[in-house]
Amino acid sequence: MAQSIHNYSKKAAGPFVAVNCAALPENLLESELFGYTPGAFTGADKKGKPGLFEQAHGGTIFLDEISEINPLLQGRLLRVLQEKQVMRVGDNKLIPIDVRVIAATNRNLHKLIKEKAFREDLYYRLNVLNIELIPLRSKKEDIPYFVNNFIQQYSHKLDKPAVTLSTEAMAYLCRYNWPGNVREIRNFVERLMVVAKKTYIELKDIEGKLIIVDNTNRDESNIQIDCERLINRNKIIAREPERLYNSEKEAILCALEENMGVINFAAKSLGISRTTLWRKMKRYNLEVSR
């Protein structure tokens, strides 16, 4: 979502820099975000280093897991957002920046503010536009699309034939809550593509092996509805190669729409290179709106 916001913005020609704030130790996060001067601390590069905010100049910086930043660093981040300037660690010179900031968290920031773990002024400075992403368990009808889309991607990446899941196998996946959301589906499909020894995957091939679903108190009527929806959805997906053959322009438009205009993803879903997709878009006078 953050990448798509960047791609459709006026800063699309600039860099997109993503950083997981939870993945970096506290003592390194500050220098990574704001950079440092030569000899600023033990082990620092002798030439110094520009921070991620400087690297994102003219584009977008995505701060994932923003809630994990410690309160002291939050104060410095607030000043950067207000002044649109950064100061490298160990320096006294301000560097102007022009950066769009997108932040994400899976924690309740209001609760963290009450617990004095997140600065209220930083929250209101960041909270210009709030987008709540619905967890995958709340839109399970999308699971077949993600699974089939990632199968095509990893088929191309691993140079292996694409697999097809039986209706029962797909329905089994739809009963799983996917706490890791789309990332977990991607990992599951990659694992499936790596270990699969056949191209038609049945329920027995994955049940209790590649993924374990808790069937306690399951609603058989809902499962039946899911199966019917999956059958219809699979028929639509199965017709996509034929649609590409009959109407290349229509398939390209569909791929761009389904992938929110991200050229790399659209090209992968079509099974062609980014360069080939650009060439075909030029042929059909297609443009990605920004």
Residue 28: pLDDT band with limits 50, 70, 90: confident
Contact criterion met (CB below 8 Å) for 45 and 38: yes
Q: Express each pLDDT in 245-261 by its tens digit.
A: 346 777 788 888 777 77
pLDDT given for residue 42 in this prediction? 66
Q: Just give the CATH number of 136-283.
A: 1.10.8.60
Beta pairing, strands 85-87 & 35-36: unpaired
pLDDT given for residue 280 in this prediction? 83
Structure tokens at 56: 């994102």
Rg (CA), the chain: 23
Where do the structural domains in the chain lie, given as residue ranges? Answer: 2-126, 136-283
Same fold, 2-126 and 136-283: no
Structure tokens at 230: 């999956």
Q: Express each pLDDT in 38-62 by its tens digit.
A: 867 766 677 788 889 999 999 999 9
Q: Just give the CATH number of 2-126.
A: 3.40.50.300
pTM (2 d.p.)? 0.63
User: Is the pLDDT at 219 greater than 60, yes or no?
Assistant: no
Does 237 or 175 have the greater pLDDT score?
175
Task: Please give the Cα distance from 93 to 38 (Å, whole number).
Answer: 14
pLDDT given for residue 16 in this prediction? 96
